[in-house]
Structure formats: structure tokens, C-alpha cells
Chain A
Amino acid sequence: MPAESWCIEMEHNEKRSQPGFFRRLLRDWGPLLGISLGTDLDDAVTVEDKYRRYPQPWLRYLLFLLFVLAIVYINHFTVEFTGLTERGWGLVKASLQGLITPSWKVITDSSTTGLAYMLMETFSIGFLGTLFGTVIAIPLAFVCSRNVAPRWVNLIFLVAVTIIRSFPSIMYGIMFVKTVGPGPFAGVLTMTIGSAGMLCKMFVEAIEDIDKGVIEALDASGCSAFEKVRYGIIPQLSSSIISSVLYRLDINIKNASVLGLVGAGGIGAQLIFAIDDRRWSDTGAMLWGLVVLVLVIEYVSTKIRKKLATDIR
């Protein structure tokens, strides 16, 4: 190789590694705007260079951030900070003390005003609501799914279920309290309707995922309709249905504590009265009870759901 040509190549390389001003500007700042010069990526010597020259969607993020900030700005008229109430800090201190020293009188009380009974009532509302909701939701879900009923039937029922689901649950509470009188039964009915709507949505997804091949195979081997349901549909659906029901049970037991506010039973009413009356140690006892109940249910339901999920595989 003659020395001259080697020199020319060297010069050429140097030229390539020293691009012009605008090109450099574009190379260094372009990525911030999401623009990238493809050739420069090949030129990059170190990984860091390459990383820096990769198109970075900062502009998009910035616009999104501005959008969020705009939402916050528009909404800040709603939310006005008027400062703490007079005895705000004292209340914080007293309530924390109440949490640390829950009232043992409430905890050990075994009558109908005691903690155990109230928790049991809350659990009953959530549990029975989920159960009855499931009973209503299963046939509804079959009617709503595409592979069982004709499309127009689906649409009618889907619209009905969506409206039922979107109706605020607190209104159901109020209406059922007016219907059957205050007490946990109204809570059960409220939970039933609320969870039926949500469960129906989940079940429809499960039913639409069914593998039709299994049923065809059973058909071909001469099974009756009952056998087709028993051996073709139930095994495919049961685990997903159980897992959504357990998931719903979780939520319902937590929500059951709210219903007390409109007189539909559960621990909620007592809890809020206790907070309003500033009986902090009673509040503490009830809160700890509620926490334990919800955590236990959540733990059990997560365990069962995990087991179901691994059984499928």
C-alpha cells in the first residue's frame, strides 16, 4: 500500500469524525427533540455516545407533563387550602395515641355492640353480597357472551348491565334502606347488585375465551348436553370464576364498611360516629379490627388465587 493513499484515507476519517456545526448541533441536541441521525449512531465510539445520540422522547414527555400540570391548574380552583382547623394538630396527636392504645373494652365486648360482632356483620355483608352477586352474574354472563347467545341479545343485556354497574352504589344503599328498612340486609342487597354488575363483566371475558374444540370433541364422542357442560365447560371456567369471585370478595369486604353511612349495617356507621365523637381509643380498636379482617381475607384470597393460577399451568 503506497503511503499516499494511506494518508488520504486518514484524512477522510478525520473529516468524518469532525462534522460541520449544524450537523453537530443536530447530533447533540436533536435527540432531545426525538430526532436522530442514523449515520451518527454507527459513528458513535463508546456506548455512552450511542446512548446519548439515541432519540430521546423528552419533548413528548414534556408535553405530557404540561398536560398534567394544566389539569392540576384547572382543578386547583376546586381544591382550596384554608389552613388547619384550630385544634388540628391536637387532633392528630390524640388520634395517633388512640391508635396505639385501642380500647380493650370494645375489643373484648361480645355483645352486638362489640367489635367481634360488628366485624362479623361486615364480613357477612361482603360475603353474602358476593355470593348472591355470583348467582345472579353467572346466567347473565352466559346471555351476554358472544359465543353463547346471538349478538342482539348480547347488546341488550350488556347495555343493561353497564347501566346497572355505573349507577352509584351509595344510591343502591339508600334505595334498599328505604325498601327493606335499615340494617345489614339492605347492605347485602346493595353489595349483590354492585358485585353482580362487575362480576358479569369479568365472567363474560372468561366465557368468551372458552376453547370450543373441547366441546366439539365431547360432542363427537356422543356426550349429552349435561355431560358437555360438566366436562367441557365447567373445568374451563371454574378457576377463572373462582378467582374473580375471590378478588371481588376482597373489594366487597372493604366496601362493606362504607355502607353503614347510609344505615345499611356494618362497622362503618360506628366507626364514623366514633371519629366524629372523638372517641379515639374506640376508633383505634375498630380500625385495628378492620385492618386485621381485611388483611386476613386478602391473604387467604391471594393464596387461593395463586394456587388456582399455578394449577392451570
Chain B
Amino acid sequence: MRSILQDLLHVFYPRSYTLANGKQIREKFSPIPYITILLIGLILYCMKIAGVDFGLLLAKGRNFWDMLERMIPPNWKYYDTMKKPMLDTINMSLLGSVFGCAVALPVSFYLSGNFKLNKTYLAAHRVLLSLLRTLPTIVVACYFRMVLGMGALVGTIAISIFSYTICVKMMYEYIETVDMGPYEAMVSTGASRPKCMLRAVWPQVKGYYISTVLYCFESNVKSAAILGYVGAGGIGQIISGRLNLRRYADLGLVLLFMTATIVILEGIARFARRKLVH
């Protein structure tokens, strides 16, 4: 009994042995048991706060399928009404991604640490960017809605800001890893800095940039659906409206189109990435 307890104790506390020559040695200390206990504690605490109750899910899980069943078959006549908001959503995310990423490219060159620019400016801009990045798109949209009024412009601005912050971060981290040899060679011939960046660094990051833009576009289309909820244009308004009226057949059509759009976009993005990056 005592030895089992001791074994248990030694999971947390490394054993020490005395060798024949009188030397004390210890087992290697492993933090894994502590981390496991902390994680389990955290999980239990979070489950309590979030009110996780799988019994409830099992008991009422039927409702989930109920709603899906009422969406089938979709109401095809609704197509004419939902066409414009659907296109608006795609347009918003396309425009936002293109604009945000276009601005992000030169900025990310100037923000990457390997061109030896002003350190203070660099740090300040990076802090500002990470503050912006943590703001959810929906909050930005909500804020601009108050200033600019309802409409797709608000959604576009929110998406641009999001794409800009994501793209700049991914790009400057990547630019810091490029081979600076060609750049230094060009600088030593006396070419101007922007010329050096264009000729020596840009070809190295081109593929990654395009794949970043595609990633932004993809995730923006996915997240743009919610923007309509705060009046930023697009399909979200339709979803919330139909939901309030309990027109599930119409909702089914909207969902069908959204899912199809995202599947197609993902396919295009994957194809383009394979063609461009490799």
C-alpha cells in the first residue's frame, strides 16, 4: 500500500537514488503530470462556466435535425430575391480582400525587420496592428455602421481592415525569412531600395502573397455572412429576416447557395495555390 502511494507521489516528484559510490542522482524532472492536472482542472472549470451538458444535447438533439428537415426541399422561387444579397456578400469580401491585401503588400515590406528601418516606428506600427487584429470584424462593422450608416460599404471597410491586418502580419513574418543575398548584391550595385525590393525580394515572396490573398478571400466569404446581422449589407440580413419569419424553406436555398459558393471557392483557391506556389 505504502509503495503504491510512493509510486504515485513519484509521478510528481522525481525519485533520487544513492549509487554504490555514495553519489546522489535524480531522475529527470518531467512537467507533464503537472500540465495534465492543470489542463484537466481548466477543462472542468470551463465546462462549468460554459454550462456544458451532454445530457441536454442527447435529449434535444432531435431539434437540430428537425430544423434541417424543414429546410428540405428548399424554396427555389426565393432565388430571385436572394440573388442580389448573395452577390453583394461575395463582392464585399472580394473588394475588401483585394483592397486590404493591396495596401498590405508595401506596408509589410517596410514592417519586416530585415531592411534595417527605424526600430521605434516599426515597433509602434506592429503594436497598432496587433491591437487592430484582435478586434472582431463584427465590432469594426458595428462601429462603422454608426458612423457611415447601413450598407455594403461598412462591410467592405470592416473586411478590408481585417484582411489588411492578417495579410501584413503573415507577409512580414514571411519576408523576414527570405534569402537576403540578392538584395544585398543589388544594394551594392547602387540600385535604389524600392528597386531592390522589387527585383530581389518580391520574386521570392510572390507565391506566398498570392496564397495569402486567396486565404483571406476564402475566410472573408465565410465570415461575411454574419456582417449583415449588424446592418453591414449582404446575406446576413436575409438570414436573420427569414429566421424571424420562420421561412425555413427559403433559408434552405440560401444555405445551399452559400455552402456551394464556399466549396467552389475553396476548390479554386486550392487549385490556384498548387499552380502558383509550386
Contacts and interface: CB of A to CB of B under 8 A. Distances in A.
Interface of A: 47, 51, 68, 71-72, 74-75, 78-85, 88, 91-92, 95, 117, 120-121, 123-125, 127-128, 131, 162-163, 166-171, 174-176, 178-181, 183-185, 187-189, 254-255, 257-258, 261-262, 265, 268, 271-272, 275-276, 278, 287, 290-291, 294-295, 298
B140 to A, nearest CB: 10
Given A85-B147, A179-B63, A123 B135 contact: no
B138 A290 contact: no
A258 B50 contact: no
A180 B226 contact: no
Contacts, number: 182
Interface stretch (B7-15, B75-83, B88-96): B88-96
Interface residues of B, number: 64
A254 B136 contact: yes
Contact of B138 (A68, A79, A95, A261): A261
A289 to B, nearest CB: 11
23 contacts: A68-B98, A72-B98, A75-B94, A78-B156, A79-B91, A81-B148, A82-B149, A88-B146, A121-B50, A128-B43, A128-B47, A162-B266, A167-B255, A168-B262, A170-B236, A174-B239, A185-B50, A188-B50, A189-B57, A255-B136, A272-B138, A275-B143, A295-B134
B87, B91, B153: residue with the most chain A Cβ atoms closer than 10 Å: B91
B50 A265 contact: yes
Contacts of B243: 174
A31 to B, nearest CB: 13
A68 B102 contact: yes
B42 interface: yes
Contacts of A75: 91, 94-95
Given A275-B143, A294-B134, A120 B49 contact: yes
Interface string B208-232: 0000000000000011011001100
Nearest to A159: B263
B132 to A, nearest CB: 10
A85 B61 contact: no
A84 B146 CA distance: 9
5 smallest CB-CB distances across A and B, nearest first, come from A124-B46, A166-B262, A294-B134, A184-B50, A124-B50
Nearest to A185: B51
A188 B134 contact: no
Contacts of B137: 258
Contacts of B255: 167-168, 171
Interface in B89-122: 91-92, 94-95, 98-99, 102
Contacts of B67: 175, 178-179
B29 interface: no
A13 B88 CA distance: 64
A162 B218 CA distance: 14
A127 B50 CA distance: 10
A97 B48 CA distance: 36
B139 interface: yes
Given A254-B134, A294-B134, A272 B263 contact: no
A47 B189 contact: yes
Contacts of B52: 128, 185, 188
A168 B225 contact: yes
B46 A171 contact: no
Contacts of A271: 139
A166 to B, nearest CB: 4
Given A78-B88, A170-B226, A123 B46 contact: yes
Given A47-B189, A258-B223, A295-B130, 15 more contacts: A75-B91, A78-B95, A78-B152, A80-B152, A85-B146, A168-B255, A170-B236, A170-B239, A171-B239, A174-B243, A178-B63, A179-B63, A185-B52, A254-B134, A262-B229
A95 B143 contact: yes
A79 B102 CA distance: 18
B222 A168 contact: yes
B81 to A, nearest CB: 17
Contacts of B49: 117, 120-121, 124, 184
A78 B232 CA distance: 12
A261 B94 contact: no
Given A82-B149, A95-B143, A166-B266, A268 B138 contact: yes
B153 A81 contact: yes
Contact of B51 (A163, A176, A183): A183
